[in-house]
Amino acid sequence: MLLAGADIFARLLDRCVVSRHGAAMVSRVHRPLPMELALHEARAGAELGEVPVGAVLVDGRNGALLARAHNRVETWSDPTAHAELLVIQVAARRLGLKRLVEADLYVTLEPCAMCAAAISLARLRRLYFGAYDPKGGGVDHGPRIFEQPTCHHRPEIVGGLEETRCAALLREFFALRRAPGEAEDGRG
């Protein structure tokens, strides 16, 4: 069954937001667990043929889960459907807020320039990312968005959180895609 874009987004929204009252606690010590959820999202994305990047947005004050997502670039044929953008969009719409000043983002890969700009626009409090991305990253590499004079909000940044596992997931995904006999259309 084909779904209109709005229906797909509504379903994603239902799946992403655990509690509309913000009562679903991720953890009181909330640093390790959100990255676990982000890794779980990344693996779920890989099963759909998406580059395994997962993102989780939590309320930094109490650890409440605001949204979780993996990339949807392939499934939606949308080059902008990166996990970070999706969690920001879902949380902002659900909360009715254009700025998420208490929110912390956990993402398995260094955000690209587009997502870094969105993080700045959304005024996120903290950014935790896993693997560094020398080819496509926009935080520690390339345009270094947060260091530009035209960037008006820089979150606190922690890079390399669970870096080994996040990087391994990406490496395995691309190794499988390159493996002989692994047909591109073999994902069903």
Q: Which is nearer to Zn ion, 25 or 151 (CB)?
A: 151
162 is catalytic: no
Q: Are 90 and 69 in contact (CB under 8 A)?
A: yes
Residue number, 24 or 114, with CB nearest to Zn ion:
114
Of 38, 65, 16, residue with least CA distance to 166: 38
The residue at minimum Cβ distance from Zn ion is: 115
Q: HEC profile for the chain?
A: CCCCHHHHHHHHHHHHCCCCCCCCECCCCCCHHHHHHHHHHHHHHHHCCCCCCEEEEEECCCCEEEEEEECCHHHHCCCCCCHHHHHHHHHHHHHCCCCCCCEEEEEEECCCHHHHHHHHHCCCCEEEEEECCCCCCCCCCCCCHHHCCCCCCCCEEEECCCHHHHHHHHHHHHHHHHCCCCCCCCCC
Q: Which CB sits closer to Zn ion, 22 or 138?
A: 138
Q: Which of 91, 105, 115, 127 binds Zn ion (CB under 5 A)?
A: 115
Q: Mark the segment that binds Zn ion (CB under 5 A) among 25-33, 44-52, 110-118, 180-188.
A: 110-118
Q: Shortest approach of Zn ion to residue 110 CB, angstroms?
A: 9
95/114 with CB nearer Zn ion: 114
Among 12, 112, 117, 169, binds Zn ion (CB under 5 A): 112
- Whole-number minimum distance, CB 19 to Zn ion, in Å? 26
In angstroms, what is the minimal distance from the CB of 62 to Zn ion?
A: 27
Set 41, 50, 84, 162: catalytic member: 84
Beta carbons of 101 and 91 less than 8 angstroms apart: no
Q: Which of 30, 82, 109, 139 binds Zn ion (CB under 5 A)?
A: 82
- Binding positions for Zn ion, 34-73, rule CB under 5 A: none
- Token pair recorded at residue 27: 């953890």
Count of residues near Zn ion by CB under 5 A? 4
Return residues touching Zn ion (CB under 5 A): 82, 112, 114-115
Give the active site residues: 84
